[in-house]
């Protein structure tokens, strides 16, 4: 109740608290979203090279416009030789 009484007395705090709350929620949700991406390492013992399992045909960005992926022949030969 004390918080609501303060808000009613000082109405100029309402936009400030609103924008700070939206920014905090956005930062927290983006952090959680980034943890579940395939190229992020959280546990190095379980999967030390997660970028090897990334599907190149699936977009990895939050917003992708006109993405075309073609494999590089040199990288494919090096990958085959190191396995």
Domain ranges within the chain, ordered by starting residue: 2-82
List, in order, residues 6 or more apart from 9 with CB less than 8 Å away: none
The Cα–Cα gap between 71 and 79 comes to 12
End-to-end CA distance of the chain: 65
Take residue 37 and report the two structure tokens written for it. 């991406």
Q: pTM (2 decimals)?
A: 0.50
Four-point Cα dihedral 67, 43, 48, 27, nearest 10:
30
- Summarize pLDDT for 10-66 with one digit per residue, the tens: 889 889 999 999 999 999 999 888 887 766 667 767 766 767 777 776 766 767 677
- Summarize pLDDT for 55-65 with one digit per residue, the tens: 776 766 767 67
């Amino acid at each position: 109740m004390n918080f609501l009484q303060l808000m009613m007395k000082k109405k100029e705090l309402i936009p400030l608290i609103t924008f700070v709350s939206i920014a905090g929620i956005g930062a927290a949700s983006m952090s959680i979203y980034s943890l579940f991406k395939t190229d992020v390492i959280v546990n190095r013992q379980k999967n030390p090279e997660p970028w090897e399992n990334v599907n190149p045909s699936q977009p990895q960005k939050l917003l992708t416009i006109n993405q075309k992926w073609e494999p590089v022949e040199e990288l494919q030969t090096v990958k085959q030789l190191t396995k």
